[in-house]
Structures are given as structure tokens and as C-alpha cells.
Copies of this chain bind each other. A is one copy, B any other.
Amino acid sequence: MAVTIKDIAKRANVATSTVSRVIQDSPKISEATKARVRREMKALGYEPNYSAQSLANRMTQSLGIIMPEADVAIFQNPFFLESIRGISDLTNEKNYTMALVTGKTDEELLSRVKTMRRANRVDGFIVLYSKPDDPIVDFLHNEKIAYTVIGKPQQYVSETTHVDNDNYQAGKDVVCYLMELGHKHIAYVGADLERTVHKERVRGYRQALEEAGMTVNPHYIFGSEFTDDDISELFRLQPPPTAIVVGDDMIAMSLQRALHRIGIRMPEACSLISFNNLILADMMNPPLTSVDIDIFKLGYQAAKSLIEKIQDPEEVTKHIIIPHRIVERASCSRIEE
């Protein structure tokens, strides 16, 4: 049987309530007593029983991490594990645990979130994605459950703490970067407008073009599903693009392959710039210029602000922006006039 508060109390000659207060480092207890109790805790290798604590103070010290409805493609996107790593770094530090919530459909996810909540398994949730009309976010909001989102929420924006990049600005930056290299005809592939992050990036892209006095050609914009024919067609437009902004590194990999198949060389015939700066970007051939969005920090900050909120429900709502930066590699070339 494991060591309990009683064992410590007996050996330190105090009441269990005193031991409990020492665990919480309560200012009510004298330093002398604390020292004595702590010595015994150390000597016996005491660790508070987590279930008992949860039951008594109704805190679980556990965060639920909600993944988007899962298909293989999404799960194999290293974005998620990297943000989980950031979360994990903080939870381990704060002695929290995390519970991944996954599901094949929104209904499945929702029902799992509800169950976890009713069973009091977690103190709050981190939503790893953001999309319009998300029933899960509706539920969390209506039930007044603590949650933070990674990305820009589409519902209850001002009331919900979230951690995000300035994807709108990143979209602009990327276009400016290409324009400085002399590019005038810039397409966009991976404009998956259902997902907020992509929507924002596309918005920045459009804005940058307009600010430069260029018109946005709607035929220049593609979603993340495309065939070789789609891409061929893109290059048959007059004028054809000389550069493409890509929604993220995974899409950039697919696109690069399509380009190769239809005989368009990167970066000579077409420059590519992308977002996320996954380790893949560095492994591509040629290595991909990509916007580093510091995914690890997105996760870390999301966990941090969620825990703050849990520990103090009066904590203000925060909108945290993690800076991004373009990591130049070899996928963009200069165009001479």
C-alpha cells in the first residue's frame, strides 16, 4: 500500500489536516512544522494521491486536448504532435495530465467531450483547431467550461482566450517577400477556406496584392485538393504565375510533386513559399522556404493560459499572438525584369 497523509501525520506528530496544508504550502503553517513534515514526506517518498485530491477539491489537474475529426492525413500532419509537445512541456511542469480526445466525426467528438465533462475527468479543454459553426465550441461555451483555442476562434471571439499567429499578416508578408524577389504573378494553392487559419492567410495574400495595386485573379486561387490537370491549367493562364503561396508544408509537398510531373521545375520556373516550417520543409528538395509559426509555443501558451483560467476563473480573456518569421531556403528564386 502506498504512503498516505496519515503515515506522514503520525511520523511528524501532527494532524492530517496539517499535512494537507503543508502539501498546499499554506501560509498558515509555521516554517518549523513545514520542515518537519516535509522531511517525513521525503523520507517515505510520499506523493499525494491524485484521485483523492480531485475528489476532495473537485480539480482533476487534467486538460482535455481536442483534435479535429480525424482522418489519417490530418493525424500525420506533424503540426498536431508538435503543438501537443508544447502543451506537454507545460503540463509536465505544472503536474497536469492531458487527455487526448479524438473522434471520427464531430458527433463522436462531442459525445466524448460531454462524457469527460460529466465524469469530471478534466478541468478544461484546449481546442487544437478552429472552424466555423463548431458544435463542440458551442457546447463548451454554453456550459461555461474553461477552454482555449489554438487558432482564431470563429465563435464567441472576444470572450474566448486563444493563442494564434497573425496569419493575415503572415499572408501579406509572404506576398511582399515574393514581390521583392520580382514576382508579379503569384498564385495561391491550399486555400482551404473552411479552416480559419487558411482563410486568414488567403485574406492577407489578397490584401497585399491589392495594396501593391494588382488585381487578384480568382483563377489563381486553389483549394488543397487538386489534380495535375488543375495545376497544368493554372500555368496555361495568361500570364502564368511565377510563384505560388502554399497553405502549408504538407500541401507544398503534394504540389511540388504535381509540378514535377507536369514538368515545371522549382524554383527555376516557379517559386514556392509555404507556412508552418515543419521539419519536412528542410528535407524537401530543394528545401522549402516556409513561415515558421512556432507551433511548440502555440501549444505551450495555450496550456499556460488555460491553466491560469482554471486556477482563477476571474482571469481575463487573452488573445495571444505568437510571432512568425520567414525561414529562407531554396524554393524561391529572383526574377529579373
Contacting pair A88 B100 (CB below 8 A): yes
Per-position 1/0 for A62-101, Cβ under 8 A of B: 1000000010110111101110110011001001011111
Task: Point out the residues of chain B lying under 8 angstroms from A278, CB to CB.
Answer: 76
CA distance A84 to B100 in the complex (A): 9
Contacting pair B92 A101 (CB below 8 A): yes
Q: A76-B82, A82-B76 are in contact. Are A47 and B89 (CB under 8 A)?
A: no
Contacting pair A279 B119 (CB below 8 A): no
Contact of A325 with B by CB under 8 A = no
Contact of A250 with B by CB under 8 A = yes
Contact of A334 with B by CB under 8 A = no
CA distance A103 to B91 in the complex (A): 11
Contact of A322 with B by CB under 8 A = no
Q: Which residue of B lies closest to A115 (CB)?
A: B47
Taking CB atoms and an 8 Å cut-off, the chain A residues in 240-292 that contact chain B are 250, 253-254, 256-257, 260, 278-280, 283-285, 287
Contact of A319 with B by CB under 8 A = no
Smallest CB separation, A312 vs chain B (Å) = 21
Task: Point out the residues of chain B lying under 8 angstroms from A323, CB to CB.
Answer: none
Smallest CB separation, A261 vs chain B (Å) = 8
CA distance A115 to B96 in the complex (A): 11
Looking at A52-60, A199-207, A220-228, A302-310, the stretch in contact with chain B turns out to be A52-60
Contact of A218 with B by CB under 8 A = no
Contacting pair A283 B250 (CB below 8 A): yes
Contact of A16 with B by CB under 8 A = no
Task: Point out the residues of chain B lying under 8 angstroms from A257, CB to CB.
Answer: 283-285, 287
Per-position 1/0 for A33-61, Cβ under 8 A of B: 00000000000011111111011000010
Chosen A-B contacts, 7 in total, with CB atoms closer than 8 Å, are: A2-B120, A50-B60, A55-B55, A97-B99, A97-B121, A253-B284, A256-B285
